Amino acid sequence: MFTGIITDIGTVLASEKRGDLRVRIATSYDIEGIDIGASIACDGVCLTVVAKGAAPQGWFDVDISAETVSATNVGQSGWPVGDKINLERALRVGDELGGHIVSGHVDGQAEVVGITPEGDSTRFSFRVPAALAKFIAPKGSVALNGTSLTVNEVDGATFGVNIIPHTQKVTTWGQVKMGDQVNVEIDTLARYVARLAEVAG
């Protein structure tokens, strides 16, 4: 379980195709404090640490299944070496819930279709598949590349969010470009409300 509050920006060091995809990610997290088997959200994807090391810098390895590859922006060969990705450690009892409940189970991808300065912030617009659009509502929450964000407006399969300068600085949002594919996790509450309405109907 996560909150969508990014706590580190990792760097992809290597990707290797085995039975699954093995990816090595550099991090500023204290490696001694990360257990093998721990969950870390990588660009919003909940992944399990299978190896770790501290030289020449702190790093951890994750295995990524074909199912996860097909649903996310990881890509068949893994994130490109050198790419920056948002990281979040799993929520612990007593931690502040600053965003919203995020499972790390990505529902699909959204395309960046607009980037517009708006005061000191930046307005990002996204297009999602129709199957996901019904779960996204104005003032609702959505996790994009692991970041908890509030939806400003919705127009069919397109929606917008505002990202403040602080968020752009401490996440990868300052590097996102038009046409990029970002991981989308819809709000769990929205999923259940939609399911209840479906059953009631």
Read off the pLDDT of each residue in 143-167 and give the average, rounded to a whole number.
97
Per the domain annotation, does 98 fall within a domain? no
Per the domain annotation, does 113 fall within a domain? yes
State the pLDDT at residue 151: 96
For 8-60, how does the pLDDT look when each residue is reduced to its tens digit (9 = 90+)? 999 999 999 888 999 999 999 999 999 999 999 999 999 999 999 998 899 99
Q: At 9, which amino acid appears?
A: I
Per the domain annotation, does 1 fall within a domain? no
pLDDT level of residue 195 (50, 70, 90 thresholds): low
Cβ distance 25 to 42 under 8 Å? Answer: yes
Using CB atoms within 10 A of its CB, is residue 196 exposed (0-12), middle (13-18) or buried (19+)? exposed
Read off the pLDDT of each residue in 89-102 and give the average, rounded to a whole number.
79
Per the domain annotation, does 48 fall within a domain? yes
Per the domain annotation, does 192 fall within a domain? yes
Helix (H) or strand (E) holding 165: helix 165-170
Q: Do 132 and 167 sit in the same domain of this protein?
A: yes
Cβ distance 163 to 176 under 8 Å? Answer: no
Domain boundary among 59, 89, 119: 89
The span from the CA of 2 to the CA of 51, in Å, is 21
Per the domain annotation, does 137 fall within a domain? yes
pTM exceeds cut of 0.85: yes
The span from the CA of 182 to the CA of 63, in Å, is 20
Per the domain annotation, does 102 fall within a domain? no
Domain boundary among 30, 54, 89: 89
State the pLDDT at residue 175: 95
- For the chain, where are the E strands, in sequence order? 8-17, 21-26, 39-42, 45-53, 59-64, 84-89, 108-118, 121-127, 141-144, 147-155, 158-163, 181-186
Residue 109, pLDDT > 70, answer: yes
Residue 190, pLDDT > 80, answer: no
Q: Do 191 and 113 sit in the same domain of this protein?
A: yes
Read off the pLDDT of each residue in 121-132 and give the average, rounded to a whole number.
96
State the pLDDT at residue 92: 77
Residues of the chain above pLDDT 70, percent: 94
pLDDT level of residue 77 (50, 70, 90 thresholds): confident
Containing structural domain, residue 44: 8-89
**CATH code, domain carrying 80:** 2.40.30.20
Q: What total of structural domains would you count in the chain?
A: 2
Check residues 124 and 77 and name the one with the higher pLDDT: 124
Place of tokens 């799993």: 90
Residues of the chain above pLDDT 90, percent: 81
Per the domain annotation, does 96 fall within a domain? no
